[in-house]
Structures are given as structure tokens and as C-alpha cells.
Amino acid sequence: MEHQVQSTPAESTESGVTSGLRPFKGQINWRHSHHLKNVHGILNIIGWGILLPTGAIVARNFRKYPLKCDEWYQLHTLCQTSAYIIGTVGWGIGIWLGNSSSQYTLKAHRILGIIIFTFATLQMLALWLQPKKEDECRKLWEIYHVVLGYAVIVLSIANIFEGIGNIRSHAAEIWRWVYVGMLIVLALTAVALEICRWIKSKNPQQMAFEDNQIYVSQQI
């Protein structure tokens, strides 16, 4: 009587179940990676792409002209700090994705992201390192702060489009047009405020009156 060799549970697991689990695990990893890529994109758009330009608009147009807001500096700081925190989380996710996958090596997108993070960190240090108003170097520091700030905004917008261009699906067009729509809203807002600023500049008496009101409010 011949003895039939039966496969043990371990052998059965190795031959059948494991081979079935590998595609399943791969599918889970792909879904997890895909989800993180979406989170990475959304956080970067909100942080670097929306809040950062909004903070610049506040600083330019809410200090004196065309709209005076006593809390402009707090609003500016809130926008920029929120942008930095949210954007840094998104940037960190992108770095992790790049390090964890040999297929996710987007050199231009990665390099731009590192430059943006570095410049933005320098801007955040301004909260503690900015000279006092009476210091001689204050004017030069303000020029540096504005130029570096606008450079970060331009690089951020460019890198967002670079990241969208790396999406290999029809969703890329949706992302692109959604962000274009957001930029149009920001641009129209900035243009409208610049027009108001120009109109007020044509009325020196009104500007002098507002300057006096600002001075009086600071003395109270």
C-alpha cells in the first residue's frame, strides 16, 4: 500500500496562501501610497499655494492702503505660519514617499521642494531676527524679506504645477484646473486691491487724512 504524501499547513501556506497575499499586500501598499500622494498634494496646495500668497496680499494691502486693518500684522503672521506648518507637513510626506519608493524619484519636484522649505524657514526666522524699526539695517531687511517672500511664492506655484504634471492619470487635469481657478481668484483680488491703491494715490488729501488717523490711533 502506497503512502500518499500530504502537504503540511506550512507548505500549503507557502505555496498557495502566500502567493495570494503578495498581490493583496501590494494592492494595500499601492492604495496607501496613492492616498499619501493625494494628502501631499492637497496640503502643499493649501499651504504653499493658497495661504502663502494670501499672507503676502494682506501685508501689502491691509497695512495702510487701500484697506487699513489694525490687525494686519497678526493676520499676515497667521497666514504665513499656517502656510509653513501645513506646507512642511506636505513636504515631509513628499520626502518620505521619495525615500520609500524607487519609482517615486521626481528630482526636479524634490529639489524645488527642498529650496522652498529652506527659503520659507528663513522667512519664519524673521519673526525673531527682524531688526527694530529704528535700526539702520531695517530698510535693507524689509527689501530682503519682501524679495525672498515673493521668490518663495513663485517657486511654490511652479512646483505645484510640476507636481501636478507628474500625476499619471486623468485626475491631473482636474487638479490643474482647480488650482488655476484658485490662482485666478487670488490674482483678481490682488489686482482689485492694486487698483484701489492706485485710485487712492491720486487723492493726496485722503491719503494724508488716513495717515493722520493712523498716527492718532497709535498715540491713543
Q: Is residue 5 part of a domain?
A: no
pLDDT at position 192, please?
94
- Confidence label for 161 from pLDDT (cuts 50, 70 and 90): very high
- The range of the structural domain enclosing residue 93 comes to 29-219
Q: Is residue 174 part of a domain?
A: yes
* Count of domains forming the chain: 1
Confidence (pTM): 0.76
Q: Is residue 134 part of a domain?
A: yes
Q: Is residue 66 part of a domain?
A: yes
Q: Is 145 annotated as a binding residue?
A: yes
Smallest Cα–Cα separation from 41: which of 81, 85, 93, 101? Answer: 93
The CATH number linked to 212 is 1.20.120.1770
pLDDT at position 58, please?
95
Q: Is residue 110 part of a domain?
A: yes
For the residues 59-85, what does the mean pLDDT come to? Answer: 90
Q: Is 76 annotated as a binding residue?
A: yes
For cell 492702503, what's the residue?
65
Q: Is residue 24 part of a domain?
A: no
CA dihedral 163, 165, 168, 174 (to 10 degrees): 90
Q: Is 109 annotated as a binding residue?
A: yes
**Residue 87 pLDDT > 80, yes or no?**
yes
**Residue 216 pLDDT > 50, yes or no?**
no
